[in-house]
Structure 1
Amino acid sequence: MKPNTQAAQTVLLVEDTLSLQLVYRSVLASAGHRVTVAGTAAEGLVQFRNLQPAVVLLDLVLPDRDGLMLMQDMLALRPETCVIAITANGSVNRAVEAMRAGAHDFLVKPFDENRFLGAVQNALAERLPRKAPPAVESDANDRAVLQDGSSFIGSSDAMQRIHGTIASVARSMATVFITGESGTGKELCALAVHANSARANGPFIALNCGAIPQDLLESEVFGHMKGSFTGAISDKPGAATAADGGTLFLDEICEMAPALQTKLLRFLQTSTVQPVGAIRPRKVNVRIVCATNRDPLEAVRAGQFREDLYYRLFVVPIHMPPLRDRGQDVIEIAEAALFRFAEEEGRAFYGLDPGLRMLLPRLPWPGNVRQLLNVMRNVVVLNSGGWVTEQMLPPGLDAAPSPQIVAPVADQKDPPLAPENLVGMSLAAAERRLIEATLSRFDGSVPKASRVLEVSPSTLYRKIEGWAKP
């Protein structure tokens, strides 16, 4: 018997730590989800049979049984269930095992609330019938505006040029390549391209190439067949197949491994998808939009990105400018976010007072639009209403570092970075010396240093922030 709609949207949380149960349940309930909690594998399986939940949040370490085995039992009973595996930091291999065994997604502790809720929302969206995207209109300036009110905001000269480019290119099949710093709205730009295209009623599938382990990325993009590798208990369509008739958005494209770049190039040339383990390819009709926060041409010169793939993708470039260069767009975005968040939270705000309207465009905004949205959410949550003043802003905004983070460099009196001078240091101290020396060579540029050190920029940012803490 099929579960009813309400039961189909139930989230089952299987977690044995009581404090985490309380935290996870509170976050999910606050977001409007119906949650049932189990503390053991045995209890989780009983609840799973009774509730037939749409999504299961499953800790892989349980007191009475291995979580991976429990997940396999659940998927054997109901293969359509979206299981989100939860594992501790340092156990990423377990998460990879879970993904190979059929997990929809995984979370590595500690994770933030947005990542947690995003994983659940994505899983639920995959289970529910797709709704047609909001209708699109074009105003006199060819600006893409979604009728649900979530417009791609910005009237600065730079944004007007972007709106014009989107209006011109959207209805073609040309590949769009979006560049820009993290948080500038590259995915919103991709959505605007999709919404203005003839594919607006088709799916928009977004895949972050930098957030998925490289050994799983091929399966995520192209899918796999049942039995193609250990743990592949059912066929899984990849993102390219899911986007058939719509748009496939590949974010952080420059983080894709070279072997997969070759397969992506073939996909672009033939418009065919061959899942892992499949004998024959299948034809799909997909429009590609990709994005990166790196300089793609520099990645080509460094041998990290195929030159032929670069020229195949770099057809219509769109550069999203940083928020600090967008003038009064800051005010437009802030006020739109203020009223939207105020409605969600049931608060009455009138707008930004004159002093704040003068201040916001002068702030550095290293986190770009994403940071501004978080600031406005903070204001709405912590204040009851009225005019928003400078005093309502969270502290430290005027002292925020620029996106080009300059890490503390080694003292000039420090000995040269030679092997004999590292002997006697702790591993952590030697690592810090190496990172500082590399940053110094590249004038504090984290992206450039990260490429030389072959680590992600986010890893360096975390280490720099850790050094700054007392």
Structure 2
Amino acid sequence: MAVKEQKILLVEDVLSMAMLYEKHLQVAGIVSVTAESLADARQAQAKDKFDLILLDLNLPDGDGLAYLEEIQGTDMETPAIVITADASLNNAVRAMKLGALDYLVKPFSESRLVTTVNNTLERVQLRQQVDTLRHKQQDGAFYDFIGNSVAMQRVYRTIENVAASKATVFVTGASGTGKELCAEAIHKAGPRVGRPFVPLNCAAIPHDLLESELFGHLKGSFTGAISDRQGAARSAEGGTLFLDEMCELDLSLQKKLLRFLQTNTVQPVGSPKAEKVDVRVICATNRDPLEEVRAGRFREDLYFRLNVVPINLPILKERGRDVIDIARYFLEKYVAEEGKNFKDFAPDAQALLMAHSWPGNVRELQNTVRNVAVLQDGEFVTAAMFPMLEGQSLASTEANSLATTFVPSSDMRANKPADETLLMASLADVERKTIEDRIAVFDGSIPKAADSLGVSPSTIYRKKETWEQAE
């Protein structure tokens, strides 16, 4: 059975034979483009992407095998089936070494041609799927995401399940958690991967220009409209439109967006007619959309239309050892950019990274690692190289350090202590109170309290034993 949506390049200099092969392939539902020489083949491959080459070896301007060797390792490298009147084993072996997956010896029947092409296309497709899977799993990565925590594995599975669908996806999560990466992963994992991915940040554009940016406008439709503008929705034709910070849209534009989603049509500003478009819509926000609905700032009907498939991205603090994997990725990147010598993070640096709460999520981690790569150097990054974190995390020298954060209230900073006892307490007392309060929050569960503090339960057990002995 033919593999749909795949295209082959037929390189054959005898026109009558080329027409015959093309007819046989067309009847079988296989799309082909014919080139009569190697020069034509180079031109065709420069303009288009082919899944397979059906290549005659004897051509007027060169040897087909030499052409396979020429394109090997380049952007034009493509799996091939070679056609030859010479059935010698040497040619077959050489063809296979140069990337050919099969060969046909003239003369051959219509069924032999179609079966060989179909089987080879299926092999190519299977190999691409395996390569994609390998790419996703390499070093714990999933497309552009880094990390293999349980929380992220759930996100990855949802992306895989929804990628092939046309359903609207609503991505939520705090700033810096990777909402645009999530949208790009859905696009790349689905059938629209070869079409445009168009992001539009609704918070970065003035409200009075958002409609034009989204749906386009005609020349002269308003002051400053000096030419026609296509707009993001039409620019994404056949691909994916990603609307970030959705909750920043005003109510009037929300109504127009709802109509766009329901009818798959856009009406540029100043145009008397609507135009049909084919786009997959993914939206995102760092707010709680249901809270926005309750507050009257977001249309309820639009929320339910967008929230077909919800994906909530976890904050970095909930991703466990992903913090270290992501930090290592950024360290390798910035070491190469800055010409530094860092190989890895020392144990105390890893403990500090794990203890920090990362309110800015991945974006904060990225900037922190870049700061170190720019200003410091050495074989290993140590905790002392993170002055921007040391004031926010109190880490012990144990392998699994305990991190507690003591941030004075605004009253304390104004010398108006709300709790004078706490203000005058020692660091040990503050640490004990923080731990005991956290255990109380989790109804006495030390493992849960330890996890929320970024330490092992044994650390808390040891401290409790020390307190009890001192009493």
- The normalised TM-score by structure 2 is 0.55
- 2:133 is aligned with 1:139: yes
* Structure 1 residues without counterparts, runs of 5 or longer: 1-134, 414-470
Aligned residue in 1 for 2:374 = 381
Matches within 5 A, 1:269-348: 269-348=262-341
The 5 Å alignment of 1:212-223 reads 212-223=205-216
Please list every run of 5 or more consecutive structure 2 residues that lacks an aligned counterpart in the other structure: 1-127, 395-403, 417-471
Show the counterpart of 1:100.
none
Which residue of structure 2 lines up, in the alignment, with residue 104 of structure 1?
none
Question: Is the Cα–Cα contact under 8 Å of residues 198 and 235 in structure 2 kept in the other structure?
Answer: yes
Q: Deviations over 1:414-446 (max 9, x none)?
A: xxxxxxxxxxxxxxxxxxxxxxxxxxxxxxxxx
Equivalent AA in structure 2 for residue 180 of structure 1? G
Structure of greater Rg: 2
> How far 1:407 moved relative to its partner?
7.7
**SS class of match (1:395):** helix
- Post-superposition Cα deviations, 1:259-306, rounded to whole Å, max 9, x if no partner, equal 000000000011111110012111111111111111101111111111
Q: Distance in 2 between matches of 1:229 and 1:190?
A: 33
Q: Which residue of 2 aligns with 1:200?
A: 193
CA contact 1:144–1:152 (8 Å) conserved in 2: no
Partner of 2:247: 254
Equivalent position SS for 1:371 = helix
Q: Distance in 2 between matches of 1:400 and 1:365?
A: 11
Q: Does 1:187 align with 2:180?
A: yes
State the 1:200 CA deviation: 1.0
**Aligned residue number for residue 21 of structure 1:** none
Q: Which residue of 2 aligns with 1:365?
A: 358
Provide Cα deviations, 1:145-198, integer angstroms capped at 9, x if missing partner: 799997311210000010111011111111111111111111111111111111
For residues 237 and 146 of structure 1, what CA distance do their matches in structure 2 show?
A: 40
The answer to whether the 8 Å contact 1:247/1:286 transfers is yes
| Distance change (3 Å), C-alpha of 1:292 and 1:148 | closer
Matched to 1:237, the amino acid is Q
Aligned-pair CA distance for 1:346: 2.2
Match of 2:336, as an amino acid? Answer: E
CA distance in 2 between counterparts of 1:217 and 1:326 reads 35
Change (3 A) 1:285 1:380: same
Does the 8 Å CA contact 1:347/1:380 hold for their aligned counterparts? Answer: yes
Matches within 5 A, 1:394-413: 394-399=387-392, 408=410
The equivalent residue for 1:211 is 204
Q: 1:395: how far off?
A: 2.4
For 2:143 and 2:365, the matched residues in 1 are separated by: 16
CA RMSD after TM alignment: 3.1
**Residue type of the partner of 1:139?**
L
Q: Residue 303 of structure 1 aligns to a residue in which SS?
A: coil
User: Taking every aligned residue pair, what percent have the same amino acid on both sides?
Assistant: 56
Corresponding residue number in structure 2 for 1:267: 260
The aligned length equals 277
CA shift in 2, pair 1:258/1:362, >3 Å: same
| TM-score, length basis structure 1 | 0.55
1:18-167 equivalence runs, <5 A: 138-139=132-133, 143=136, 151-167=144-160
